[in-house]
Amino acid sequence: MKRLWLLFSQAVTVVLAAYFVVGTLQPGWLPQRGVSSAVAVLEAPAASDSASPVGSFRLAAQKSSSAVVSINISKNARPSPHGNDPWFKFFFGQQQDQPQMGLGSGVIVSPDGYILTNNHVVEGADEIEVMLNDSRRASAKIIGTDPDSDLAVLKIDLDRLPVIVLGNSNALQVGDQVLAIGNPFGVGQTVTSGIVSALGRNQLGINTFENFIQTDAAINPGNSGGALVDTNGNLLGINTAIYSRSGGSMGIGFAIPVSTAKMVLDGIVKDGQVTRGWIGVEPNELTPELAQTFGVQAEHGVIITGVLQNGPAAQGGMKPGDVVTEVAGQAVHNVAEMLSVVAALPPGQPQTFAVQRAAGKTTLQIAPGVRPKPRQRQP
């Protein structure tokens, strides 16, 4: 009996030693049930392709970035305006401008190939090439431009075009999160994030009609014409300008609201031009000096210093010295606000203008006309 117990103990010792050696040198030869269950408890489940980490803007960027394009423009060399002056040739030689290249961005807003961008991106361009996010390229033609809002509409002929969804810029509030998408400095499509810093920015001297969304999302040269989108990937504005002392982003960027862009797009595509309201007055900022000159007392508004004879305002009874405080029920505090509100009025339909005069307050019914086209600059 003692001998059998000795043989059993030796056998167990050999088996345990072998198990130890195999477990050390070849652990894969042993069953892994216990290890697998432990790993299953400790490891997080793998994220699916459609899942988005908490706080990520991945889905918004994926939804909108495919509809944002890069725009390359070229301008041919043009002869110097002094080319026929013999004295100029004698002193300076034959001068000729060099070909110019430019970069910008745009947003596809229609499956028919219509693209919104800034007028200053394509102004004076002889050739325009559009590159999609899927690397397809196409030549674009200008359907129309609107320098007053710094917007332009292009068109390309490609199939299966991604189209951005238009959002509601009128519902924006300061503090809302936004993304800016474009091609800064030509490095390739880039997405930056920030918040809405301010609304209704005007008097910046950028456009005739200004109602900018201000954002701290990084916008740099080359972003012009690109998309400002919400966290759902819907278009809120067209990135247009930055305030910068260095040429790069300083956290102050400006975008044209999509409400304005849609009005320009519809006007250009349907009528070939943007139709704006106009009443024929010379408005000025209300100052104590002007108020005293015309003998009027008003806390806010825009003072009218000139009225075009037989113009819409004159026919409606407006006079120099009137202070316009409201247009169609909307309060106006400066010239930029009044221009924007009047421009949005449908021509031919009478609107109510609240006016402060020396004799007191009154209301006028004025039917706006069509705003005349700006005079073309002489070369």
DSSP string, 240-279: EEE--SSSS--S-EEEEEHHHHHHHHHHHHHHSS---EE-
Q: How far apart are CA 231 and CA 43, in angstroms?
A: 30
The amino acid occupying position 231 is T
Please say if 300 is a catalytic residue: no
Domains, the chain, with CATH or none? 59-77+97-155 (2.40.10.10), 169-271 (2.40.10.10), 277-370 (2.30.42.10)
What residues in the chain have per-residue pLDDT under 50?
A: 33-48, 90-92, 376-379
**What pLDDT score was predicted for residue 148?**
86
Please say if 150 is a catalytic residue: yes
The amino acid occupying position 357 is R
Element at 92 (helix H, strand E): helix 86-92
Strands 253-257 and 212-215, sheet pairing: antiparallel
Please say if 246 is a catalytic residue: no
Residues 6+ apart with CB under 8 A from 279: 311, 312, 313, 316, 318, 342, 366, 368, 369
Residues 6+ apart with CB under 8 A from 162: 66, 67, 108, 132, 133
**What pLDDT score was predicted for residue 26?**
60
Residues 6+ apart with CB under 8 A from 79: 96, 97
* Both tokens assigned to 342: 């009047």
Which position among 224, 230, 249, 322 bears the catalytic label?
224
* Both tokens assigned to 143: 């359907």
Which position among 146, 148, 150, 322 bears the catalytic label?
150
Q: How far apart are CA 321 and CA 270, in angstroms?
A: 39
3-state secondary structure of 327: strand
- Give the count of beta carbons closer than 10 Å to the beta carbon of residue 267: 17
Which position among 120, 146, 197, 340 bears the catalytic label?
120
Give me the residue label for tokens 């819907």.
234
Question: Which among 111, 96, 106, 151 is positioned nearest to 128, based on CA atoms?
Answer: 106
Which own/partner contact pairs does 31-40 have at CB distance under 8 Å and 24+ positions apart? none
Element at 4 (helix H, strand E): helix 2-25
Give me the residue label for tokens 């200053």.
120
Instruction: Give the predicted TM-score (pTM) of the model.
Output: 0.70
**What pLDDT score was predicted for residue 379?**
36
The amino acid occupying position 18 is A
Cβ-count burial 141-166 (b if 16+ within 10 Å, e if not): ebbbbbebbbbbbbbbeeeebbbbeb
